[in-house]
Amino acid sequence: MAAFDLVVPETAEEAIAALQTLGPGEAAPIAGGTDLLHDVEEGRLLARRIISLRRLPWRTLDWNGNALTIGSTLPLRALEDDRQVRERYPGLYEAVRNVGSVALRHRATLGGNLVRSAPSSDLIPVLLTLDAEVDLVGPHGDRRVPVDRFVQASRRTDLRTGELVRSIRLPEARPSAFFWQRVRPSNDISQIVLAVAFAPAERSWRVAVGGVTPRPTLLAEAATALGAGRPSPDAVRRAAESASARAPFMTDRRASEEYRRRLVGTLLERAVASTVGTAGFPA
């Protein structure tokens, strides 16, 4: 197993400084560690120094009206247990409670999921449909980046040397839904995930898909096909066809491209039906 040392800073400033004491890529942050320790076990971790985020005051959940800011190191289980999250962000609630197992969710975090940026992430598609933004702190100050720009490919993000994800901001509550397909229902990596949300102010849909290459992605054409409100069965069918044709699916060890293309339309139909059935869906 790779040898590394562990630093446990008390403040964000100390953590940012610690990240810069070695060369690029030689220091890595650890939040829940559930994915990072995989890399350690497989000898894939290059970092010689791990910076623990556990003492930073980022295990937070802050409401501002309907906007929600989620601290990057808040365990997923705490997010799932919040009644307001469940009511106002149903897609996020469904996605979070379907990650791994209960024990895993007591440690795993939203920040970690974003930074690890897995193409099969259960959480990134939902964040995309909610127009979520990532709040970063770093040696050159704070900045805010849309999730759609932050996530680039597996284990590759817009995070610069010395930067940390402090929180994730969801600008507005949206009727939303999340559906998955896996070999095993629990504690498995999804073959496909499909998230949809309806933005009530601008009256437009978002559709995002995971289990794709190189990263989870919004499907703009499918969203447009759904129209500006409750879609007709014909509109849903056109959106499903578009998702099936346009999603960047590939064959890998979890599923074939063909299987994914057949399945995605069904998941989209279910997700739209669930979203229009949400209590807050506008007339």
Partner 1 sequence: MTPRPLRLTVNGRAVELVDVPASERLLDTLRWRLRSKGTKEGCRTGGCGACTVLVDGRTCLSCLTLTHEVDGTEVTTIEVGPEDAVVTRVRTAFEEAGALQCGYCTPGFVMALAGLLRERGTSATREELLEGVGGNLCRCTGYVAIVRAIESLRSGGP
Q: Which residues in this chain contact partner 1 in the complex, by CB under 8 A? A: 1-6, 8, 30, 33-34, 37-38, 40-41, 50, 52, 54, 77, 100-104, 106-107, 185-187
Comparing CB distances to partner 1, the nearer of 53 and 225 is 53
Minimum distance, C-beta of residue 190 to partner 1, in the bound complex (Å): 14
| Separation CA 36–CA 46 (nearest Å) | 11
Contact between 129 and 176 (Cβ < 8 Å) = yes
Is the CB of 78 or the CB of 173 nearer to partner 1?
Answer: 78
Minimum distance from CB of 104 to partner 1 (Å)? 6
Amino acid at 92: L
Q: At its nearest, how many Å lie between partner 1 and the CB of residue 145?
A: 28
Strands 5-7, 49-52: parallel, antiparallel or unpaired by DSSP? parallel
Closest CB to partner 1 among residues 105, 169: 105
CA pair distance 132, 109, nearest whole angstrom: 16
Q: What is the DSSP letter of 160?
A: P
Residue 185 or 233 with smaller CB distance to partner 1: 185
Smallest distance from partner 1 to CB 182, Å: 12
Tokens of 144: 């805010």
Given the DSSP bridges, would you call strands 27-30 and 143-146 parallel, antiparallel or unpaired?
Answer: unpaired
- Among residues 279, 129, 283, the alpha carbon closest in space to that of 210 is found at 129
Q: Which is nearer to partner 1, 65 or 185 (CB)?
A: 185
Q: How far is the CB of 223 from partner 1 (least distance, A)?
A: 32
